[in-house]
Structure 1
């Protein structure tokens, strides 16, 4: 079991807007909040978001470089994936792989893919039958 994941972000305000829209839909609740970061928790696991210091912003992030490629969350059903897709679209979030949605992860995966403000790919999926 993972205890927590900490992500450095380039723009805390934009990151918070994105994850405030997404994480409550997945059963997470706000856990910590301070001037340079915030976190969301579900059960014993939590995700921390921290503003990157200015001197480290220039390098930027790219999921194809060494490091984290994406984060995948479980959804309880295909209906939940559909509801999350609709909510994120309403929030102005672009859905990736539109031409293959919701099977962009393959025939056995019912999922939505999107990018957070730093272009970290986020997947919300049901594996198997989709229900």
Structure 2
């Protein structure tokens, strides 16, 4: 059944599609249950079930780097069922070349009742993984 207001998709332009694909394959497919939805020479999309999907497209305008404190997107946040699952993702992150944010305040960088992991994608877009109850 269709529901008004559900996010349909998000499209993000990236500096290096191969790097972004490697990161989001790891995060979305390996850990969050997404699957590759569409692929074409300059882009890829991932979908969760039959709902909202995320699109990543190779930008042709590379002179301006992304800065999450400028006007525009600050971060993407995803639910993950269980604190243990978030802990496992963090452990997996430690063996990869991706940067954890606020590591010294893990898992409560977002507040005392907000169990979450924060990291950056290859373009420095902040990703938040929020532990939720099943």
Cα shift readout 1:28-66 (whole Å, capped 9, x = no counterpart): 11111111010110021100000001xx21122100000
Q: Retained in 1: the 8 A contact 2:82–2:131?
A: yes
Question: For residue 52 of structure 1, what is the aligned residue in structure 2?
Answer: 59
Matches within 5 A, 1:112-127: 112-126=117-131
Q: Which structure 1 residue ranges, 5 or more long, are not aligned? A: none
TM-score, with structure 2 as normaliser: 0.90
**Coordinate RMSD, CA, aligned:** 1.3
Q: Retained in 2: the 8 A contact 1:93–1:114?
A: yes
CA–CA separation in structure 2 for the residues paired with 1:90 and 1:81: 15
CA–CA separation in structure 1 for the residues paired with 2:130 and 2:82: 8
Local SS of the residue matching 1:114? strand
Cα shift readout 1:95-115 (whole Å, capped 9, x = no counterpart): 111110111111111111000
1:61 to 2:61 alignment:
no
Q: Retained in 1: the 8 A contact 2:114–2:130?
A: yes
How far has the Cα of 1:89 moved from its partner? 1.7
CA–CA separation in structure 2 for the residues paired with 1:89 and 1:22: 13
Q: Retained in 1: the 8 A contact 2:67–2:124?
A: yes
Question: For residue 3 of structure 2, what is the aligned residue in structure 1?
Answer: none
TM-score, with structure 1 as normaliser: 0.92
1:11 to 2:16 alignment:
yes
Q: Which structure 2 residue ranges, 5 or more long, are not aligned? A: 1-5
Query: What is the aligned length?
Result: 127
Question: For residue 107 of structure 2, what is the aligned residue in structure 1?
Answer: 102
Give the helix-richer structure, 1 or 2: 1
Question: For residue 38 of structure 1, what is the aligned residue in structure 2?
Answer: 44
How far has the Cα of 1:94 moved from its partner? 2.0
